[in-house]
Amino acid sequence: MSLIYVLNGPNLNLLGKRQPHIYGHETLADVEASCRTLASELGHELRFHQSNREYEIIDWIHEARENGVGIVINPAAFTHTSLAILDALNTFEGPVIEIHISNVHKRESFRHHSFVSHRADGVIAGLGTEGYQLGIRRVATMLKTQKTTDAKWSTGSN
């Protein structure tokens, strides 16, 4: 089984308690449980982390370079501020999907810019916590497509 990392930024530990009118009533533990179930159904393992500290997210991205095949990341407020997370993601060779529970484009203007989007292979915003499952599905699809393409090249069937 290949390992997909799901990384969460600051304040997501308060999911379900903080601004439920924006982020919903589901907790991060609920999101993790549904992500684990889906990843298993798709034949993948999951590492699910949350931190309010930028350096821990960077460390997990570095860990993913060695152990992971894809990253689904909700960088939260670090989306708009962290060149360091962008730099770390730029060292990762697998698919990266950026997700946001709320539609950041309907919110304050400072939320409209994402450093992470410069590296992300896709961005999911405004679909609630379902965005996590969609991100995992997209990583799995990208990995399957990559394996098929790699197999064609290695067998010379192109």
Element spanning 10, H or E = none
On whether 53 is known to bind a ligand per the annotation, the reply is no
On whether 87 is known to bind a ligand per the annotation, the reply is yes
On whether 52 is known to bind a ligand per the annotation, the reply is no
d(Cα 28, Cα 42) in Å, to the nearest integer? 21
Cβ-contact 38, 17 below 8 angstroms: no
Active site residue 25: no
On whether 111 is known to bind a ligand per the annotation, the reply is yes
Q: Which of 5, 44, 100, 132 is catalytic?
A: 100
Element spanning 84, H or E = helix 83-90
∠ CA 102-4-89 to the nearest 5 degrees? Answer: 70
Tokens read off for 68: 């992971």
DSSP 8-state class, residue 40: H
Active site residue 113: no
On whether 101 is known to bind a ligand per the annotation, the reply is yes
**Which residues are annotated as part of the binding site for substrate?**
74, 80, 87, 101-102, 111
Q: Please list the active-site residues.
A: 23, 100
